[in-house]
């Protein structure tokens, strides 16, 4: 039996026009935005899910973030699948798996099968996300940080649309299942559109020799900078996904917000992720020590404001937005961009997989850990430990990075 052929890479000399490349990349980002629609609406639906199934707060917290376990477990294999089958096929397969699992969540009979579908949806998202990060880095090498930032901007679009549109669908149809089924159908349609409309000349692009050269970066992921970044990413995953998974429940159960108001406030944190290209610009221009330290401290400050400050809607709205600015547009984008730059050109796809694994394995436990801390000590103490404390630890670790060992890009002759 012959070995599976490796997908052919495409030189930038066989390039698409810039407009076509951006349009096709935009379609990939649109497909990724559907993930955010589900990720951000499901926590808003947790009150109804808990009521129907009788889940405890801890069980609901696990359901809210367990998709990240699937993402984490699939992160490293995703890089290998990209090399075996090609990035476009990996993106399509991941989008389809995510969409089908989302639809099956609505058909769950109890805790166990819902948990399975949430995990499988995470596997699908990992395949999709790791491949899109690799496409962004390879197809737009002179703008790696900004291209990776645009991925998170797509997440922002889905984050803004997801909670409000999902709440509207739930109220219109009288069931939390309506948004899940709708988002699954949109995902399937976009997977088919990707297969038909996105060219391998974009997804399988490889920088041509003599046009773009990657200089420096570690030859192994076990070097100092990649390992320090991995630790920062784990801490960030635990902090950020505690917020993503449980903040809506805090608003509704502790502060008395309705589903619509909670969806609005949570959506503002996603709106802030529209600034993600700015976070990518920081990656392209500034030292990882300063950027990651300051951004993590910003996350910690916002966590203090949300859980120690006023319970009013205006206050919560402002600091939810700022939390998203520092976390989603900031640490998430910067950590991904710097991890890609921490390795040499051959390690890019593996670095993308490691990023997905680190952030989402941590995230898979974030909801359960936060809800357990909340049950034991209350919402405020849980937030001070997990959101604020872990962010401060990440800021301290950033000071251990060695900026001169990160890769740089020689783009003489490149016009992307």
Q: Report if residue 414 sits inside a domain.
A: no
Q: How many CB atoms lie within 10 A of CB 396?
A: 14
Does residue 159 sit in the same domain as residue 237? no
Signed CA dihedral, 372, 312, 152, 117: sign only: positive
Domain end position, chosen among 171, 206, 241: 206
Q: Of 178, 206, 234, which marks where a domain is finished?
A: 206
In eight-state DSSP terms, residue 214 is E
Whether 171 and 230 share a structural domain: no
On whether both 252 and 400 belong to a single domain, the answer is yes
Whether pTM exceeds 0.95: no
Residues 288 and 401 in one domain: yes
281 and 133 together in one domain: no
What is the C-alpha separation between 282 and 286, in angstroms, rounded? 5
The two structure tokens encoding residue 235: 């801490």
Structure confidence at residue 168 (pLDDT): 87
Give me the helices (H) in 86-110, please: 87-105
> How is residue 401 written in tokens?
């990075």
Reported as type and span, the H/E element at residue 344 is none
Instruction: Please check whether residues 197 and 222 belong to one and the same domain.
Output: no
DSSP structure class, residue 107: T
Residue 220 scores a pLDDT above 60: yes
Please identify, among 168, 188, 206, the residue that sits at the C-terminal boundary of a domain: 206
Does 8 reside within a domain? no
Torsion of CA 294, 300, 301, 303, to 10 degrees: 150
- Flag whether 146 is in a domain: yes
Confidence of residue 301 (pLDDT cuts 50, 70, 90): very high
Question: Cα–Cα distance between 290 and 283 in angstroms, integer?
Answer: 11
Evaluated on CA atoms 393, 219, 351, 279, the torsion sign reads positive
Q: Is residue 266 part of a domain?
A: yes
Start-to-end CA span in the chain (Å): 41
State pLDDT tens for residues 323-339. Answer: 999 998 899 989 988 88
Q: Are residues 268 and 341 in the same domain?
A: yes
Q: Which residue has the higher pLDDT, 248 or 302?
A: 302
**Which range marks the domain in which residue 405 is found?**
213-409
Q: Please indicate, yes or no, whether residues 228 and 330 belong to a single structural domain of this protein.
A: yes
Domains held by the chain: number: 2
| CATH code of the domain covering residue 390 | 1.20.1250.20
Do the Cβ atoms of 293 and 398 come closer than 8 Å?
A: yes
219 and 154 part of one domain: no
| Assigned domain for 416 exists | no
177 lies in the same domain as 303: no
The verdict on residue 322 lying in a domain is yes
Q: Which of 36-40, 215-219, 308-312, 399-403 has the lowest mean pLDDT?
A: 215-219
| Inter-CA distances, 353 with 117, 282, 305, Å | 22, 22, 33
Is residue 16 included in any domain, yes or no?
no
Q: Give mean pLDDT, residues 272-294.
A: 84
Q: How confident is the model at residue 268 (pLDDT cuts 50, 70, 90)?
A: confident
Residues 75 and 169 reside in one and the same domain: yes
**Residue ranges in 140-176 assigned as alpha helix (H):** 144-173
Between strands 10-11 and 205-206, the pairing is parallel
| pLDDT tens for each residue of 328-384 | 889 998 998 888 888 877 777 788 778 888 888 888 788 889 989 999 999 999 999
The answer to whether residues 255 and 175 belong to one domain is no
Length of the chain counted residue by residue: 416
- In this structure, what are the phi and psi dihedrals at residue 218, rounded to the nearest 5 degrees? -75, 145
Whether 18 contacts 32, CB under 8 Å: no
In a domain, 28, yes or no: yes
Residue 303 has pLDDT above 60, yes or no: yes
pLDDT tens per residue across span 107-147: 999 999 999 999 999 899 889 988 898 888 777 866 766 78
Q: Is the pLDDT of residue 296 over 80?
A: yes
């Amino acid at each position: 039996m012959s070995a599976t052929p490796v997908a052919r890479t495409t030189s930038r000399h066989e390039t698409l026009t810039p407009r076509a490349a951006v349009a096709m990349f935009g379609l990939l980002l649109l497909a990724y935005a559907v993930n955010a629609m589900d990720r951000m609406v499901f926590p808003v639906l947790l009150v109804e899910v808990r009521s129907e199934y009788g889940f405890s707060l801890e069980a609901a917290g696990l359901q809210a973030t367990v998709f990240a376990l699937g993402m984490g477990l699939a992160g490293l294999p995703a890089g290998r699948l990209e090399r075996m089958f090609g990035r476009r096929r990996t993106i399509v397969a991941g989008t389809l798996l995510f969409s089908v699992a989302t639809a099956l969540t609505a058909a769950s009979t109890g805790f166990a099968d819902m948990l399975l579908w949430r995990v499988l949806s995470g596997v699908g998202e990992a395949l999709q996300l790791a491949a899109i990060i690799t496409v962004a880095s390879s197809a737009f090498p002179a703008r790696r940080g900004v291209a990776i930032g645009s991925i998170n901007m797509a997440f922002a679009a889905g984050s803004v649309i997801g909670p409000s549109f999902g709440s509207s669908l739930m109220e219109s149809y009288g069931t939390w299942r309506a948004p899940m089924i709708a988002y699954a159908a949109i995902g399937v349609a976009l997977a088919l559109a990707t297969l038909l409309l996105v060219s391998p000349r974009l997804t399988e692009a490889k920088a041509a020799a003599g046009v773009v050269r990657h200089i420096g970066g570690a030859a192994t992921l076990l070097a100092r900078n990649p390992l320090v970044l991995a630790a920062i990413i784990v801490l960030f995953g635990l902090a950020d996904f505690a917020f993503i998974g449980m903040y809506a429940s805090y608003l509704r159960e502790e502060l008395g917000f309705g589903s619509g108001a909670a969806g609005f406030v949570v959506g503002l944190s996603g709106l802030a992720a529209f600034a993600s290209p700015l976070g990518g610009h920081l990656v392209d221009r500034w030292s990882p020590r300063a950027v990651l330290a300051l951004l993590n401290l910003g996350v910690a400050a916002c966590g203090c404001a949300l859980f120690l400050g006023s319970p009013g809607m205006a206050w919560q709205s402002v600091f939810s937005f700022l939390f998203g600015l520092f976390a989603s547009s900031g640490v998430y984008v910067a950590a991904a961009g710097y991890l890609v730059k921490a390795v040499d050109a051959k390690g890019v796809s593996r670095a993308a997989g490691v990023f997905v694994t680190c952030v989402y394995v941590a995230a898979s436990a974030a909801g359960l850990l936060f809800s357990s801390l909340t049950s034991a000590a209350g919402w405020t103490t849980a937030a001070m430990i997990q959101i604020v404390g872990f962010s401060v630890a990440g800021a301290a670790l950033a000071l251990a990075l060695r900026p001169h060992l990160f890769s740089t890009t020689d783009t003489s002759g490149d016009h992307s």
